[in-house]
Structure 1
């Protein structure tokens, strides 16, 4: 099926590893020219080279989006190759501090890295989309922004802010040909999560075999209708849909990719 993004240019922030990498690889496989972003130039170049080796088109932009200067650099490097049609705001940080541990400075730090960084890229990339008369802005949110837990309150709040700003942006972009949406992942498996699960297994009595540990962890921590963790490629597929012509009538939406973890309409 042709999703008609061939030749579109896509900037995926935080794409030198993890979820962002999976998104960039899938967009490139569908014909988009992707800009790999990260704070580490070597890692970003490695991902871009891998995409090119697979027949895709990829360049890089390096900088820290938690600063205005870094965002300026990333935007300039990304736009040097031409207009950007697709912005995927994915870069950010996490924290497991509790209510009693997270200081006011912790709240400010994570809000800057996870929310203000999104607005920095919106302000630098979206104006040129208006001149194109078409564009896609996709924000990576999360289920904890909809149904927060008591732990990591400052992180949960940043996810809620991402959802809110995306809807506000959709209103701002009315009738411009640009859409703004959220992809909201549930618990996604990756090597870091697997390592945490193995280390935590003795405490929770989950056993010693990785697949059994993952299943028990889902039942105890993130019960959902699929009975498993999600995969980065599944989140990337949701992003791909929102970039496609089939999503022309979708804006201001939250697309949950969480196996049914969030129990709300």
Structure 2
């Protein structure tokens, strides 16, 4: 299926590894010129080089989006190669802390990384989309926005803020040709998650083969209707669809890609 992304240019924040890397590579494979963003220049350049070797177009922008100066640098670098049509706010971080461990300063750091980073890029790039009459803004959210857990309260709340600001932005962009949506992943099998599950398997009694381990870990950690963890490419596919012209009539929506982990009819 041709998503008609040839001629479009996309910036995916936090795309030097993990979900962001999968997203930026799929957008490039679909014909979009992409900007790989990260804070580590070597890692970002490595992703961009793979994209180029696969026949895609890729530039690199380095900077810390948790600061205004870093956001300025990223936006200015990205725009040197041309206008940005698609902004995917994926960059973020979290602390492994509970309610009493996470201090107000930790909350501030989480909001700077996970919420204000996206706001900064929206301020710098969306006005130009509006002027051109076409654009896509996609937040990477998560099920914890709707069904938070006791751990990582600052992270749960930051995801909820991402969801909320995306809908507010959609209202702001009414009749502009620019849409704002959320892709909400469930538990995704990035390399670090797989390594963690393999290490936990003996003590948890999850089995010895990967199929057994994944099935049992999903049952214990993220019960869902598919019975496994998601794949980065499945998130990338959802983002690519929302970035395409086939999603012109979708704005202010949350597309859950979680195997049915979030059990809600609405």
Indicate whether the TM-score tops 0.5: yes
What is the match of residue 233 of structure 2? 233
1:98 deviation in Å?
Answer: 0.7
Q: Write out aligned runs for 1:185-196 (5 A).
A: 185-196=185-196
What is the match of residue 164 of structure 1? 164
1:199 deviation in Å?
Answer: 2.3
Q: Write out aligned runs for 1:66-145 (5 A).
A: 66-145=66-145
Task: Give the count of matched residue pairs.
Answer: 265
Residue 42 (1) aligns with residue 49 (2): no
Q: Deviations over 1:106-150 (max 9, x none)?
A: 111111110010100000010111111100000000000011111
Aligned counterparts of 1:105 and 1:208: Cα–Cα separation in 2 = 42
State which drifts further: 132-141 or 201-210.
Answer: 201-210
User: Structure 2: which 5+ residue stretches go unaligned?
Assistant: none
1:198 deviation in Å?
Answer: 2.0
What is the match of residue 202 of structure 2? 202
What is the match of residue 4 of structure 1? 4
What is the match of residue 28 of structure 1? 28
1:191 deviation in Å?
Answer: 1.1
What is the match of residue 256 of structure 1? 256
Aligned counterparts of 2:254 and 2:213: Cα–Cα separation in 1 = 30
Aligned counterparts of 1:246 and 1:91: Cα–Cα separation in 2 = 25
What is the match of residue 224 of structure 1? 224
Runs (4+) off by over 3 Å: none
Q: Deviations over 1:152-188 (max 9, x none)?
A: 1111100000000000000000100000000000000
Aligned counterparts of 2:208 and 2:68: Cα–Cα separation in 1 = 46
1:103 deviation in Å?
Answer: 1.0
Aligned counterparts of 1:111 and 1:198: Cα–Cα separation in 2 = 31
Q: Deviations over 1:195-239 (max 9, x none)?
A: 111222234222333332211111111110100000000000000
State which drifts further: 194-203 or 16-25.
Answer: 194-203
User: Structure 1: which 5+ residue stretches go unaligned?
Assistant: none
Aligned counterparts of 1:179 and 1:145: Cα–Cα separation in 2 = 21
Calculate the TM-score normalised by the size of structure 2: 0.98
Q: Deviations over 1:41-61 (max 9, x none)?
A: 111111111101110000100
Q: What RMSD in Å do the two structures reach over aligned CA positions?
A: 0.9
1:7 deviation in Å?
Answer: 1.1
